[in-house]
Amino acid sequence: MSDLSIYEKQSFGQKLSFGRQSALLIIDFQVGFANPEVLGGYNINEAMDKTVILLKTAREHGIPIAHVRYATQCEGSDIGTFALKVPTLKTLTVDCADAQFVPLLMPLTGEYVSVKRHSSAFFGTNLSSWLTFMGVDTLFIAGCTTSGCVRASTIDASAYGLRPMVVLDCVGDRAQGPHEASIFDMGQKYADLLSLDEAMSHFSGKS
């Protein structure tokens, strides 16, 4: 038996399918993550470009949209041991250029916007309350990094009873190995995996 066939034997990877109300969550598509010299790498910029298309489609069809970014207000002391593991995170203060959303994915008035201080878009924010208020049960997820904040947010979305939908073309990481391993893991345990075309088709009411 291969090391992966055991997942099928144990009935992992079942489909969640769509619920009644979808929303789009975009995580950490910030200037610093677009730069391999800061926190970027591998396919993050390509994922940003694809998310521009997904975001446009979501807006055209009135899909609720949430934008969450990482920033620190206290030069790292408000993110605890996370700053010890990744000291670069201490440089992303709220007002610095690297902490801002990339220009092509800037939020619009009326869209949910929040700042987080750890991996999950849910931890320390009121994202869950907003999603509940909006009646959302299905959460499409784009952002970076796949193995970090996307994965953490996907797990928390599942823990809150949502149906996570990871849009494969719209998530990126700074290295290929963690990206691919995390996609496999999320698809087996927590989320459905969709292409950009499948996500747009759903937003437009064609699926």
Rounded to two decimals, the pTM is 0.96
**Residue 9 falls within a domain, yes or no?**
no
Taking the alpha carbons at both ends of the chain, their separation in whole angstroms is: 36
75 is a domain residue: yes
* Residue 19, domain member (yes or no): no
Question: Is residue 11 in a domain?
Answer: no
In a domain, 100, yes or no: yes
Tokens 């009411």, residue located: 205
What total number of domains does the chain contain? 1
Token duo for residue 172: 């990126």
Its domain, for residue 147, covers 24-203
In a domain? residue 1: no
Tell me, yes or no, whether 13 lies in a domain. no
Candidates 27, 43, 35; CA nearest to 177 is: 43
Residue 149 is a catalytic residue: yes
For each of the chain's 207 residues, which pLDDT tens digit applies? 467 899 999 999 999 999 999 999 999 999 999 999 999 999 999 999 999 999 999 999 999 999 999 999 887 889 999 999 999 999 999 999 999 999 999 999 999 999 999 999 999 999 999 999 999 999 999 999 999 999 999 999 999 999 999 999 999 999 999 999 999 999 999 999 999 999 999 999 866
CATH of the domain at 162: 3.40.50.850
Catalytic residue among 74, 96, 144, 149: 149
17 within a domain of the structure (yes/no): no
